[in-house]
Structure 1
Amino acid sequence: MVQMTMIEALRDAHDVAMANDDRVVVYGEDVGYFGGVFRVTAGLQKKYGKSRCFDAPINEAGIVGTAIGMAAYGLRPVIEIQFADYVYPGMDQIVSEAARLRHRSAGDFTCPLVIRMPTGGGIFGGQTHSQSPEAFFTHSSGLKTVVPSNPRDAKGLLLAAIADPDPVIFLEPKRLYNGPFDGHHDRPVTSWKKHPLGDVPEGNEIIPLGKARITREGKDVTVLAYGTMVYVAEAAAAETGIDAEIIDLRTLLPIDLDTIKASVEKTGRCVIVHEATKTSGFGAELSALVQENCFYSLEAPIIRVTGWDTPYPHAQEWDYFPGPVRVGAALKTVMER
């Protein structure tokens, strides 16, 4: 085990994949010489050369489109979109080409492509650097969508994504890049960048896609969360004293329905937490799945705690996020019903 931040773990995953398979190529805006805006790819170009790790023009549609061609040809491209907010010019390529290639070719072609994107807020990046667009991708059949919450999962899930024969959207919560987020606070914690989050195995440890992780066992209520919100949910449970079982989904699609069902059938209650806006957010799909599969086990209505239904409010960033106060209130409400 080596103690790493999420950035270091992601870099290590790239390194392991590139060393083991010369079909893996890494590119995007500033990922080569500079090493990426968050330094995830630092040192890879020097180690593997400009043909394996290289820069691309500021053209998301072009980056995604060429990556799809490379993947169909037999390479395994891992591309970085600097911020998830920048991906929209490439959405037609992702939805109309990458997601459909296997099916429209009747299996003659696959698209082993990974699209990495920093997601979510917390760095005062404003409206164009802070969005959480995961629901766009989970709505598109043919894509897999991953959101890690810690360095070990980030490395293992990225290695699994690179090895997968189909396109994977890999969303990396920016607030977790450099260390643990203190979920007990509704405001930034000045010391959070100083402490690595956890131990990461050396080598090629793959964490399978589609398998959730129970981060806290409990019997009173099930909390479904992913990314940064896992820590907020843990803080809310600790502050309220409610015996919540917290599930870190890790992979949004394919979803680990078995783990969700087993937990809700045990607790009889469910709270869903995510940073994105509420209307048509991924929490709506989770709520429908729980209702459809666990109706006779539910003791109370499902509650969603989310961001606001507004454009991303830079000036009220830390009020927009679900914090332990809002999540704690939901836990108390669901227990009283």
Structure 2
Amino acid sequence: MASLRSVLRCGRNRVSGLLRRDFHRTAVVGLQMTVRDALNQALDEELERDERVFMLGEEVAQYDGAYKVSRGLWKKYGDKRIIDTPISEMGFTGIAVGAAMAGLRPICEFMTFNFSMQAIDQVVNSAAKTYYMSSGLVPVPIVFRGPNGASAGVAAQHSQCFAAWYGHCPGLKVVSPWNSEDARGLIKASIRDDNPVVMLESELMYGVPFEMSEEVLSKDFVIPIGKAKIERPGSHLTLVSLSRSVGHCLEAATVLAKEGVECEVVNLRTIRPMDIESIETSVMKTNHLVTVEGGWPQFGVGAEICAKIMEGPAFNYLDSPIIRVTGADVPMPYAKTLEENCIPQVKDIIFAVKKTLNV
């Protein structure tokens, strides 16, 4: 089994290598920075700021990370702070959780969150529940991070979204960045938080550059966990999304604006605790809501938003039913054409908006 997984992961590294060549940009061009480099810079600053912080996972050290997020950190901080591990998620996650209980602040990288299923007992039963079960005596300040959801051409066992899975569990905080600002601010907030935090990144976003302000580049910049952001104001309909799908919502909003439809795009940023107040405020203004996510529909993030809106004050402001745009309810196919039909596209969002508004 170990040799088979090694072969599979070698294949995944070749795929991710192609993706890196397709998407990678220079770290900083003017005030632009890729998501990958925003994470790398933030990790460097936090390792330098607090000697209790260390990072472990498969290939994070000498190889500079499977996606080059930890590039250069091993050379700077050495074996005690940047630790390569065997292919044993349950083992190295348990080490990280134990280290957090002992007073350190580990960053545990999964090469993909699909492999976190091997360690879900450590994440949920050990990390998430210990503070409560110890009557507040044993905090577990740990960050579980890595790529989540669909990539490109890696099929069903490497394309699952775990936002709903981990968002279901009390004791965990769950964040999911879209752009470089999100990545930088959320990883810093996660490392400094005294609770276990699951940070769900998008592999396809690692090499995409975004504008970065001087404020965001400050070493003290953090994004509060539990606070959404209005990425684009609008008056006709609210689009709520997370991770890579936020970009699709913004593209759809641009197209729809040319037809006179102004969509307000809400970037969740945090899955748990969810900023339902910001969503309610937007819905009370626009009177329509569409949720967009890459995960499966059943028991998904969009389903939770629908329930929260129905149970709260914003329900009476809705002029039409909420529509969810999600991934297809099937294991991810390998074939490119089928894969594209399983992931929400801009055209799917536009269709849902027009259906909601009856235009």
TM bin, normalised by shorter chain, reads over 0.9
Kept in 2: contact 1:135–1:280 (CA 8 A): yes
Residue 117 of structure 1, CA deviation: 1.6
Tell whether 2:211 aligns with 1:198.
yes
Kept in 2: contact 1:122–1:317 (CA 8 A): no
1:278 aligned partner: 297
C-alpha distance in 2, partners of 1:332/1:222?
12
2:245 aligned partner: 229
Residue 240 of structure 1, CA deviation: 2.5
TM-score in terms of structure 1 length = 0.93
In structure 2, list runs of 5 or more residues that go unmatched.
Answer: 1-29
Kept in 2: contact 1:2–1:202 (CA 8 A): no
Partner secondary structure for residue 326 of structure 2:
strand
2:321 aligned partner: 301
Equivalent of 1:142, from 171, 174, 179?
171
Partner secondary structure for residue 290 of structure 1:
helix
C-alpha distance in 2, partners of 1:99/1:149?
24
Equivalent of 1:52, from 47, 63, 81?
81
Residue 198 of structure 1, CA deviation: 2.0
Tell whether 2:185 aligns with 1:156.
yes
Tell whether 2:232 aligns with 1:216.
yes
Q: Deviations over 1:93-118 (max 9, x none)?
A: 11111000110000000000000020
Q: Which amino acid aligns with 2:353?
A: L
Tell whether 2:359 aligns with 1:333.
no
Q: Which amino acid aligns with 1:263?
A: S
Tell whether 2:268 aligns with 1:249.
yes
Tell whether 2:71 aligns with 1:42.
yes
Residue 202 of structure 1, CA deviation: 3.8
Kept in 1: contact 2:276–2:305 (CA 8 A): no
Q: Deviations over 1:59-81 (max 9, x none)?
A: 11112111110000000000100
1:84 aligned partner: 113
1:191 aligned partner: none
1:263 aligned partner: 282
Bigger mean CA deviation after superposition, 124-133 or 165-174: 124-133
TM-score in terms of structure 2 length = 0.87
Q: Deviations over 1:278-315 (max 9, x none)?
A: 11111110111111111111110000000111111221
Residue 2 of structure 1, CA deviation: 4.2
In structure 1, list runs of 5 or more residues that go unmatched.
Answer: 180-195
Q: Deviations over 1:202-246 (max 9, x none)?
A: 423111111101001001111110111111111112223321101
Structure 1: which 4+ aligned runs deviate by more than 2 Å?
none
Partner secondary structure for residue 68 of structure 2:
coil
- RMSD value, Cα: 1.2
**Residues 171-182 of structure 1: matches in 2 within 5 Å?**
171-179=200-208
C-alpha distance in 1, partners of 2:121/2:206?
28
C-alpha distance in 2, partners of 1:263/1:152?
22
